[in-house]
Amino acid sequence: MLSVYEMRNYPVVLVNTVLSPFSFLLIITLASKGTLFGEAIEGGLIMTMFSAGTSLQADLSHLKNDFKLQDIVVATPTSALVYVTGMTIAELIYAAPALALLSILFALYVHVSTIQVGAIVAVMLLMFFASVSLGFLLATISSDIVQSYSFSRIFTTLFSTIPPVYYPITYIPLPYRYLAYLSPTTYASEIAQNAAGLLPEPGTSLAIAWVILIATTVLFFVITIKKSKWRDR
């Protein structure tokens, strides 16, 4: 309800959610003279999903530290899972305008089968769940909203901007290509680009990318469960 209220009464919220993915899409498209338009659309989808997850920690931190909402929720039978699920849906609503526009562009310019679309959607969901886990962990240990915004910007840059999300990894010179594989979004973009027929990958490399992406998501989830502070003890 809060996310819908904000978007209806403060249109600048819509601009904010759409601006980041489309700005990179425009830059990559112009720089490549249109040859990387498909990769840029997929990159925008992945970035939007990852950013939505990391934005969760700023909103949770704001409600926890400024409104003490988490203390109230902790005192009720509501579990951390239910609370985070509700906030996660709100973040998806925030991201919905950007996802809708990017999906329309994808349908118009990237022609794939239903199975290929399913693979791309699976990658986007894995990235979202990984970033949500990371966001919740940081929110529970953050003591100030300013600190939370800093975390959000840092992780969005490290995972969505620097890695080859908007372009193929083959554009990175080989000595430096291995550094890109430190980011899980690199594997996500490789799988998505392969599913769309934009980046041919051997079956073995593709299977490894899936394993690493799933393992990273599970790892983030496990670390969050063990390290996050839902209530003071």
Does residue 11 register a pLDDT over 80?
no
Q: Do the Cβ atoms of 19 and 35 come closer than 8 Å?
A: no
pLDDT for 2: 64
Is position 233 within any domain? no
The rounded Cα 107 to chain-centroid distance in angstroms is 20
Is position 128 within any domain? yes
Distance from C-alpha of 27 to C-alpha of 166, rounded to nearest angstrom: 10
Is position 232 within any domain? no
pLDDT, one tens digit per residue, over 35-78 is 999 999 999 999 999 888 888 877 777 777 777 777 788 888 88
Is position 78 within any domain? yes
Q: Tokens 């990175």, residue?
A: 172
Share of the chain above pLDDT 90, in %: 28
pLDDT for 202: 67
Supply the mean pLDDT for the chain. Answer: 84
Work out how many domains the chain is built from and give that number.
Answer: 1
Does residue 203 register a pLDDT over 70?
no
Comparison of pLDDT for 223 and 147, the residue scoring more = 223
pLDDT for 43: 92
Distance from C-alpha of 161 to C-alpha of 122, rounded to nearest angstrom: 21
pLDDT for 232: 54
Q: What share of the chain is helix, strand, coil (3-state, %, to 5)?
A: 80, 0, 20
Is position 27 within any domain? yes
Q: What is the mean pLDDT of residues 11-30?
A: 82
pLDDT, one tens digit per residue, over 99-117 is 999 999 999 998 888 899 9
Does residue 96 register a pLDDT over 60?
yes
How open is the CA angle 199-205-208, to the nearest 5 degrees? 125
Q: Do the Cβ atoms of 47 and 99 come closer than 8 Å?
A: no
Distances (CA, A) of 41 to 36, 134, 176: 9, 24, 24
Q: Tokens 């609503």, residue?
A: 93
Distance from C-alpha of 27 to C-alpha of 204, rounded to nearest angstrom: 32
pLDDT for 233: 42
Does residue 15 register a pLDDT over 80?
no
Per-residue pLDDT band for 4 (boundaries 50, 70, 90) equals confident
Q: What is the mean pLDDT of residues 169-197?
A: 89
Quote the domain boundaries for residue 103.
2-227
pTM: 0.86
Is position 156 within any domain? yes
Q: What is the mean pLDDT of residues 15-29?
A: 83
